[in-house]
Structure 1
């Protein structure tokens, strides 16, 4: 991995005891475990939430769209927060805002909307800055920790969806079930506060250079990483949103089996996140990993188009395997292509801001094409084009070059 300028990080790990080396990673991974479940748990409970709060289907659809939009809008501000208060304290702030949002969701329909905006805003801050925090802690040995963080995020989405209904049954209502996620967030908040306090003397990342936000659009490396992140996010969220319906309509899979297929596909992101970052950094370029992450998705989509009923589980697993590899690879490229902690945070903000706004349009476009045509094939063709573009752009992003100093 390219070391770059590591002057803005915690004391070198070689001068710390074993536990002092491991504990920051444990805290960051626990924070990551909080970054998907609180909103992934909403989807399985939409019907109950509608009944409890007297909300229409359209009103509930807004709740499901808010997280990705908030990710895109809030992410650009995370580096500025880090330069003002420090990376660790900025992550802590994100966890605090997340906790407040979870509590606010208990306050009826208005609370559901306001709380969703707040909690996803807090998640956006932590999303952007966790790679920078990992780099601040571990420098040029942060790839393994980044893999653990992305694996924890993948597990969080699966756990959130899987435990949504049991927790709602345990708590007696959908809203109360959503509140229970606050227990995990509270634990992460306490531990992150302790880590931030221990790192209060670590220098803050410098403010972004003049014009750094627009410099991303002029720097080919930064733009390629940003677009790769956006396109792989679009493919992933399109899978989560529409693959169950596609499997039911095109392959004749039962609703229960379709949900299970997608859950299995999403779970492949956990082992992929642990394996990809430490292996991908062993070579200066990551072109081979771009191929490994995109070709399975292309094959899976082509299978759904040409012979959906022949092997629906295989097509779903190929889709999940490719997207599961591409997300940690995108996060790794953010580390690999930047020079220091501050630049890592800024490129992470750019990639996630554009990425999640792009991702929000993908499920919408596929759904609209289905509404207009009455078939899923046009949407699958669109996804095929998107993933082909992801492959081409990813090969550019994978070249062993750093972004310019002005980014």
Structure 2
């Protein structure tokens, strides 16, 4: 049933973010205990994004070989092993565990849109995408809020290992969603209603659909949109506390807590995006959300004292924009092979931008001694995201990939 699949994907979303987000609140404790410098501590948060960028092409190949069901099961198991290894020893164990987490999450990132394309009815793709995106941000919020208190009680190793509870939850709900044997079968049989490209008698996927020129143009613009959004999101996540300390005068504790607004606002954004898409159409909804995404860093630059407004807008737009971009990847692909390739292209380029953002923004700040230049770069990346996202919809919409907005003629 659709709702069981949604529950399984929502719980799986927790596994795709929480294990590496949990490091940031206790990075200082880890560095002090292991006698690391700041650069080495930064590897624990930077390595997963680097793994996503470097390993995404191999992850796409793995999903093709294993099938999406087994790929998700493998991701859950691999992330669990990585979390345990990371907390089990010294420097080597921490780094090896972090690399394992990043490598297996890269596989899961590709598998999810393939499952959605295969098993979710077209009129429910946007809602499923919204729930999945909301869960990504919700998992980040929970782990960011609770990891530091857990570390105070039991130490950083136990605090990081504690999030294996999410791995267990994901495993149980995924097996309940697809069944025990399909979860560990190389090529699982489709259990939802057949999609528009399925063969009517065998319910199997047809020969891979051809990719017209419009599909390749859409892939390029979607990749640029993911890159712009990932750059802004990961860059702000890394540096927003520092911006608030220096530009607004917050204390370190207050700035760290305030930075959570960016994550919190993304949850309603992800849930509202499907409604916006149905009311305004894909073009109108993305245009509205991406405009808010640009306004966020602009407001932070010109009126930093109103940071809560600007970061609420950015977070809302980030959650909603990611939901619609995810939906675009699924909707413009005609079969499982196309969605796997498109997900690999867009996420690979997006995570290259994500991995480079903290270092580039830090270098700009160190060079200029102020936050003006970094914020201008954030604005530029948000504009790239907005323009590319809207172009993606325009190109795909010309070829009938989207229904009209409600109340508008076909």
Q: Tell me which interval the TM-score lies in, with the shorter structure as reference length.
A: 0.7 to 0.9
Seen in structure 2, the aligned counterparts of structure 1 residues 375 and 336 have a Cα distance that, compared at 3 Å, is same
Seen in structure 2, the aligned counterparts of structure 1 residues 360 and 207 have a Cα distance that, compared at 3 Å, is farther
Q: Which residue is 1:192 aligned to? A: 174
The separation in 1 between residues aligned to 2:214 and 2:231, in whole angstroms, is: 20
**Is the CA contact 2:214–2:395 (under 8 Å) kept in the aligned structure 1?**
no
The separation in 1 between residues aligned to 2:44 and 2:214, in whole angstroms, is: 31
The separation in 2 between residues aligned to 1:294 and 1:21, in whole angstroms, is: 30
**Is the CA contact 2:10–2:131 (under 8 Å) kept in the aligned structure 1?**
yes
**Is the CA contact 1:147–1:328 (under 8 Å) kept in the aligned structure 2?**
yes
Seen in structure 2, the aligned counterparts of structure 1 residues 75 and 304 have a Cα distance that, compared at 3 Å, is same
Instruction: Work out whether 1:175 is the aligned partner of 2:157.
Output: yes
The separation in 2 between residues aligned to 1:254 and 1:169, in whole angstroms, is: 20
CA-CA distance at 1:113 after TM superposition: 0.5
Q: Which residue is 2:231 aligned to? A: 234
CA-CA distance at 1:151 after TM superposition: 0.8
CA-CA distance at 1:126 after TM superposition: 1.1
Alignment of 1:302-381 (within 5 A): 302-309=298-305, 311-381=306-376
Seen in structure 2, the aligned counterparts of structure 1 residues 336 and 399 have a Cα distance that, compared at 3 Å, is farther
Instruction: Work out whether 1:289 is the aligned partner of 2:282.
Output: no
CA-CA distance at 1:256 after TM superposition: 2.9
CA-CA distance at 1:100 after TM superposition: 0.8
The separation in 1 between residues aligned to 2:104 and 2:221, in whole angstroms, is: 26
CA-CA distance at 1:339 after TM superposition: 1.1
The separation in 1 between residues aligned to 2:215 and 2:340, in whole angstroms, is: 18
Instruction: Work out whether 1:262 is the aligned partner of 2:259.
Output: yes
The secondary structure found in structure 2 opposite 1:286 is helix
**Is the CA contact 1:86–1:205 (under 8 Å) kept in the aligned structure 2?**
no
The secondary structure found in structure 1 opposite 2:74 is helix
Instruction: Work out whether 1:166 is the aligned partner of 2:137.
Output: no
CA-CA distance at 1:342 after TM superposition: 2.4
TM-score, scaled to structure 1 = 0.86
Instruction: Work out whether 1:111 is the aligned partner of 2:93.
Output: yes
**Is the CA contact 1:287–1:398 (under 8 Å) kept in the aligned structure 2?**
yes
CA deviation profile, 1:219-239 (whole Å, cap 9, x unmatched): 111111111111111111111
**Is the CA contact 2:261–2:308 (under 8 Å) kept in the aligned structure 1?**
no
**Is the CA contact 1:337–1:402 (under 8 Å) kept in the aligned structure 2?**
no
CA-CA distance at 1:398 after TM superposition: 1.5
Seen in structure 2, the aligned counterparts of structure 1 residues 88 and 75 have a Cα distance that, compared at 3 Å, is same
Q: Which residue is 1:388 aligned to? A: 383
Q: 2:51 aligns with which of 55, 66, 70?
A: 70
**Is the CA contact 1:147–1:278 (under 8 Å) kept in the aligned structure 2?**
no
CA-CA distance at 1:136 after TM superposition: 2.1
**Is the CA contact 2:215–2:332 (under 8 Å) kept in the aligned structure 1?**
no
Seen in structure 2, the aligned counterparts of structure 1 residues 218 and 58 have a Cα distance that, compared at 3 Å, is same
The separation in 2 between residues aligned to 1:340 and 1:282, in whole angstroms, is: 27
Q: Which residue is 1:122 aligned to? A: 104
Q: Which residue is 1:280 aligned to? A: 277
- Bigger shift: residues 35-44 or 186-195: 186-195
**Is the CA contact 1:216–1:223 (under 8 Å) kept in the aligned structure 2?**
no
**Is the CA contact 2:25–2:144 (under 8 Å) kept in the aligned structure 1?**
yes
CA-CA distance at 1:282 after TM superposition: 6.6
Alignment of 1:77-226 (within 5 A): 77-105=58-86, 106-140=88-122, 141-170=124-153, 172-193=154-175, 195=178, 197-199=180-182, 200=185, 201-202=188-189, 219-226=216-223
The separation in 1 between residues aligned to 2:392 and 2:324, in whole angstroms, is: 11
Consecutive unaligned residues in structure 2, runs of 5 or more: 191-203, 400-410
The secondary structure found in structure 2 opposite 1:35 is helix
**Is the CA contact 1:287–1:395 (under 8 Å) kept in the aligned structure 2?**
yes
Q: Which residue is 2:408 aligned to? A: none
The separation in 1 between residues aligned to 2:206 and 2:71, in whole angstroms, is: 14
Seen in structure 2, the aligned counterparts of structure 1 residues 277 and 126 have a Cα distance that, compared at 3 Å, is farther
The separation in 2 between residues aligned to 1:355 and 1:390, in whole angstroms, is: 11
- Bigger shift: residues 365-374 or 329-338: 329-338
Instruction: Work out whether 1:27 is the aligned partner of 2:14.
Output: no
CA-CA distance at 1:255 after TM superposition: 2.6
**Is the CA contact 1:53–1:108 (under 8 Å) kept in the aligned structure 2?**
yes
The secondary structure found in structure 1 opposite 2:396 is coil
Superposed structure 1 runs of 4+ greater than 4 Å apart? 203-210, 215-218
The secondary structure found in structure 2 opposite 1:338 is coil
TM-score, scaled to structure 2 = 0.85
- Bigger shift: residues 226-235 or 313-322: 313-322
**Is the CA contact 1:225–1:394 (under 8 Å) kept in the aligned structure 2?**
yes
The separation in 1 between residues aligned to 2:274 and 2:215, in whole angstroms, is: 27
The secondary structure found in structure 1 opposite 2:121 is helix
The separation in 1 between residues aligned to 2:28 and 2:257, in whole angstroms, is: 19
**Is the CA contact 1:80–1:207 (under 8 Å) kept in the aligned structure 2?**
no
